[in-house]
Structure 1
Amino acid sequence: MTKSKSSGVSMLFILILLGTNAFLLFQMNGKPLSSLFGRGSSLFSPNAQPRAIQPRGNLAEIEMSTIELFKKASPSVVHITSINVRRDRSSSKLYEVPQGTGSGFVWDKQGHIVTNFHVIKGSQKARVTFPDQSTWNASLVGVDPDKDIAVLKIDIREGKLVPLPIGESNNLLVGQSVFAIGNPFGLDQTLTTGVISGLGREIQSVTKRTISDVIQTDAAINPGNSGGPLLDSAGRLIGINTAIYSPTGTQSAGVGFAVPVDTVNFYVPELIKYGKVERPVLGVSIFNDAYLKQLIENKVIDRPEGKGGVLVKSVSPGSGAEEAGIKPTQRQEKGILWGDLIIAINGKEVQTTHDLHKFLDKHRAGDQIKVTLYWQGKERVVTVKLQSR
């Protein structure tokens, strides 16, 4: 159908609709709508009664297990309100403005609450509300923006706190049942269910660093769920609900993501101990991948056939990399002397800078790793002691 014909059909439909409405209004002439249907007293039944209730029997076993899981886990899930403080220009008085809301959960009996970094990012205060509607002012213990994790602390008697049991994410299977509890759109203590839809996903944190091994689920995750727990069928924590993928970006489309509990259980103790993550570093700076690709395509430098690698730009003085003899790129009178190409760590190939960060994230400062280097056609392996950033 051509555009002109389509427009004509649409206009005809609108005229018919308007004409029908006008006709109905004219026919009613102020009379109630019921008059159009000829309702009379013969339609009433004076003996009408509520219908008898059909006994349903026992709930299904799967329903009972879900109900029991929610009963046990929900006391551990909290509603978090992030707050900013503003000054009234006329009176100079300070007043609080809610910035946003999210979810969190009890980590331990000492009052530590875990949530997403983006839930409290940019706020000056935070309040934690429990299912019984008791509200507590929270202090910020530490954050790891690279992994979208934050730890708060509240001053509360231990008997009130019910930490979630911790599971593991390295042995999850696609198809497993999962349960998300949180406060979507401010509706606290909301349970949604689904399955693990995918494993090993990657998403970007607010710092644009990649979060690896992310869990994908079709359990509905909406704004306000962020920071809440993703549980397995045993009620154990297996992830922190952190993001959704949808055309609008504001509501669930059946694709939600959770930071895996193995990542959470690695970094949360660091935040509680030090207030920050002592992220390990080699002690080198790296050229970006696009620049390295250009150098190789122009045959400025070479690398082993079929392998990737990252090119060392500089080496920090006194670092483990310097002690191990890793070569930096240097500008000389005759031109540039390119540095080492890092092609593997502990025997696993390094294709890109993302791979390098991913490998380092699995270690702590003080660990020693084997780094395979390539320089001017020769490979060598050195041992590097990682240091904190």
Structure 2
Amino acid sequence: MLKDTKRRILQMLIAVVVAIAIILASMVLWKWTHAIQSDQDRKNLQKVLRTIVKDQGESALLSLSGIPVSDIFYGDEGLSLFEEGAQPWRYSASEMQNISVYDKVNRSVVHITTTMDVTVNSFMDVLPAQGTGSGIVLSLDGYILTNAHVVEKAKSLKVTLYNEQSYEAKLIGLDSEDDLAVIQITVDKDTTLYPIDLGTSDDLKIGQKVIAIGNPFGYDRTMTVGVVSGLNRPVRTSEGKIIMNAIQTDASINPGNSGGPLLNSQSEVIGINSSIYSTNGNSQGINFAIPIDTAIAIIPDLIKLGRVSRGWLDIATVQLTPQLVSYGKLSVDKGVLVSQVVTGGLSEKAGLKGGTQMVQYGSSVIYLGGDIITAIGTTAIKDLNDLYLALLHTRSGDKVKVTVNRKGETKTIDVQLIERTAQHVSALVR
């Protein structure tokens, strides 16, 4: 009897343990299944939210959550938000950014006044005429970067600083080809110079906000705001200069802005304002700046030598077009055609071949059958702008490896470079 009782108690205990184990297993299984479902739901939600951000922006996402947003500032450390509502916000994030840039940079921008003997009156007297422009302080020892066309014909130069103090300046170096120049002033011991921060123009994006500061019509340190409207523009200025690889912007630039900085939202110079496209002489929303990377590359030469030596190929070039490729039955559709080589020149001696078949090409005469340049060193050459950029940092006398397609066969030739002139660059813009 006792044994039966013990057996029944043991069976009951086992049944209870099994029941508890089943319940616990069921709970674990339910939680695990629920966690998987929750994780999947979270991933699906994240996917939907990312789509909203991609298509409509962060403000739309915040609006869905019931948070009204006035403005968003995108920075390296994330987003800064300004909420809408009854709070008396004085400035938006975008306005604060503009104010911050101006406060940091305006003392680095100078007003350049030039005097030149150019005007002749009815008595054939040579009279002084004044010009005006802008510049940026490069260093504590008074070096200032500006446009070449601001200073190159000047008989005298005067620089006015942020504190209204004026100083005579001397020309240190000038590069007419890239429309850049360095001048220098010597200030008194009580005056502090504020060198500007130089950024890079290599990673600019169309649509990126830019800020221009200069002296249009003599109004000192005027600030205008716009965006990058285009990149890598070849531009012929009103003075007949050719600016390659220019930055196009709609930030208002007028006479007197020349030589002033084009800035990004981090207060860094990304360009030197140089020219405007206009039918009436004033800004019409198409303005151009020289990339700061171009300036950085030549400033040491301007300070040390007073000029810049650049390399070039002594050849006549033609950019390939679909029509030209089809007409000439060419074996490649990207590159630069060597129309002619200078007789007895370095390129001819190295082995580059010009064309022999003369044809009318638009308003020009070119020669087909010559080499097609497809690379300089390791840089692929698809058009004339690529050729310009590939040789931008070379000097006359340097040797470069030129890869060409010669009637379907690829050849690499070592070519010594000549001194590049403004005429060479002008030939790139037709």
* Equivalent of 1:263 in 272, 294, 300: 294
What aligned pairs does 1:64-213 form with structure 2 within 5 A after superposition? 64-85=96-117, 96-98=128-130, 100-157=131-188, 160-205=192-237, 206-212=239-245
Moved more, 367-376 or 161-170: 367-376
Cα deviation per residue 1:278-309 (whole Å; 9 max; x = unaligned)? 11123x2326679xx99995x7xx74343553
What is the aligned partner in structure 2 of residue 219 from structure 1?
251
Q: Which has the larger radius of gyration?
A: 2
Quote the offset at 1:218 in angstroms: 2.3
What is the aligned partner in structure 1 of residue 34 from structure 2?
none
What is the aligned partner in structure 1 of residue 278 from structure 2?
246
What is the aligned partner in structure 2 of residue 11 from structure 1?
none
CA contact 1:104–1:227 (8 Å) conserved in 2: yes
What is the aligned partner in structure 1 of residue 80 from structure 2?
none
Amino acid at match of 1:129: T
CA contact 1:146–1:207 (8 Å) conserved in 2: no
Inter-partner Cα distance in structure 2 for 1:355 and 1:246:
28
Quote the offset at 1:245 in angstroms: 2.6
Inter-partner Cα distance in structure 1 for 2:253 and 2:261:
11
Aligned pair 1:341/2:371, yes or no? yes
Quote the offset at 1:145 in angstroms: 1.9
After superposition, the Cα gap between the structure-2 partners of 1:377 and 1:130, relative to the gap in structure 1 and judged at 3 Å, is same
Tell me the C-alpha RMSD between the 2 structures. 3.7
After superposition, the Cα gap between the structure-2 partners of 1:343 and 1:78, relative to the gap in structure 1 and judged at 3 Å, is same
Amino acid at match of 2:352: I
CA contact 1:75–1:130 (8 Å) conserved in 2: yes
After superposition, the Cα gap between the structure-2 partners of 1:92 and 1:155, relative to the gap in structure 1 and judged at 3 Å, is farther
Unaligned runs of 5+ residues in structure 2 are 1-86, 357-366, 421-430
Cα deviation per residue 1:114-146 (whole Å; 9 max; x = unaligned)? 111222243222211112121111111222222
Moved more, 168-177 or 235-244: 168-177
* Equivalent of 2:331 in 294, 300, 304: 304
Inter-partner Cα distance in structure 2 for 1:203 and 1:235:
26
Inter-partner Cα distance in structure 1 for 2:249 and 2:317:
36
What is the aligned partner in structure 2 of residue 285 from structure 1?
315
After superposition, the Cα gap between the structure-2 partners of 1:308 and 1:230, relative to the gap in structure 1 and judged at 3 Å, is closer
Quote the offset at 1:314 in angstroms: 3.6
Quote the offset at 1:368 in angstroms: 4.1
Quote the offset at 1:95 in angstroms: 6.6
Inter-partner Cα distance in structure 2 for 1:232 and 1:119:
24
Instruction: Report the secondary structure of 1:138's partner residue.
Output: strand
CA contact 2:335–2:382 (8 Å) conserved in 1: yes
* Equivalent of 2:351 in 322, 325, 331: 325
What is the aligned partner in structure 1 of residue 400 from structure 2?
369
After superposition, the Cα gap between the structure-2 partners of 1:93 and 1:220, relative to the gap in structure 1 and judged at 3 Å, is closer
Quote the offset at 1:193 in angstroms: 1.7
Inter-partner Cα distance in structure 1 for 2:348 and 2:277:
43
What is the aligned partner in structure 2 of residue 31 from structure 1?
none
Inter-partner Cα distance in structure 2 for 1:253 and 1:364:
37
After superposition, the Cα gap between the structure-2 partners of 1:62 and 1:316, relative to the gap in structure 1 and judged at 3 Å, is same
Amino acid at match of 2:99: I
After superposition, the Cα gap between the structure-2 partners of 1:366 and 1:218, relative to the gap in structure 1 and judged at 3 Å, is same
CA contact 1:315–1:326 (8 Å) conserved in 2: no
After superposition, the Cα gap between the structure-2 partners of 1:306 and 1:219, relative to the gap in structure 1 and judged at 3 Å, is closer
CA contact 2:311–2:395 (8 Å) conserved in 1: yes
CA contact 1:310–1:352 (8 Å) conserved in 2: no
CA contact 2:354–2:371 (8 Å) conserved in 1: no
CA contact 2:179–2:243 (8 Å) conserved in 1: no
Quote the offset at 1:160 in angstroms: 2.2
CA contact 2:355–2:371 (8 Å) conserved in 1: no
CA contact 1:85–1:94 (8 Å) conserved in 2: yes
TM-score (norm 1): 0.69
CA contact 2:331–2:407 (8 Å) conserved in 1: no
Inter-partner Cα distance in structure 1 for 2:284 and 2:97:
26
Instruction: Report the secondary structure of 1:147's partner residue.
Output: coil
Cα deviation per residue 1:201-247 (whole Å; 9 max; x = unaligned)? 332254543411x2222222111111110111111111111122334
Amino acid at match of 1:313: Q
Unaligned runs of 5+ residues in structure 1 are 1-54, 331-336
Instruction: Report the secondary structure of 2:101's partner residue.
Output: helix
Quote the offset at 1:358 in angstroms: 3.9
Quote the offset at 1:327 in angstroms: 4.3
